[in-house]
Structure 1
């Protein structure tokens, strides 16, 4: 966590969303599938490209973004230009990127059907009880 450039992430504008190529279809559970998985990349105006995965966040190369961005929930075009205001862990310890107006981005890996990039509003998708479990990504302190 400490290796991520916090000062180059917070208050940066989201310029582009991209993905890796999907994995080969794989059967995760008997009778369910096949599922395809891919990496999600967020390019910021600071030059940082984030690789957003369910439980971790890392810095990636711009070259990793080989497929155009796609989200479930809020369309990509409505996210571009928003400011990164936080990086949190949600109630399931999944890393979420917080943008203006409590919009979030999350790898919605369900382990069975795939991992779409979920874009939504915190107040609509998380209960008050769930939000009490949110922590700051870097400090692990509760989010107010």
Structure 2
């Protein structure tokens, strides 16, 4: 069994995934649009170019997402996407990139369990935890 986070955005999924490619070194594996799909009839015409499903690979792991149909997206709550990073310098870089334009909820620093740990909410509203044991 494989567990993958599935994130829902309010119309900025493509922008977020393109940012994660730069910030995390990921690669967009697929980005399907509402237009031309059976779901096109369930969104307004101006939503046709929005993302119905996307997949991003980061170091062999997969993050999936979509633009939720208008009026259905809610701010994320009760979870964080957790990244396990082996190198403290890389943990600092990843944290800084994700926190840029967002909100730091716990500055990255040494903790009793990790060489580096920090929490932030990125500019797209997604909560992240960066851990370097």
Q: Which TM class, normalised by the smaller chain length?
A: under 0.3
Question: Normalization by structure 1: what TM-score?
Answer: 0.26
Structure with the higher helix share, 1 or 2: 2
TM-score (norm 2): 0.28
Return the index of the structure with the highest Cα Rg.
2
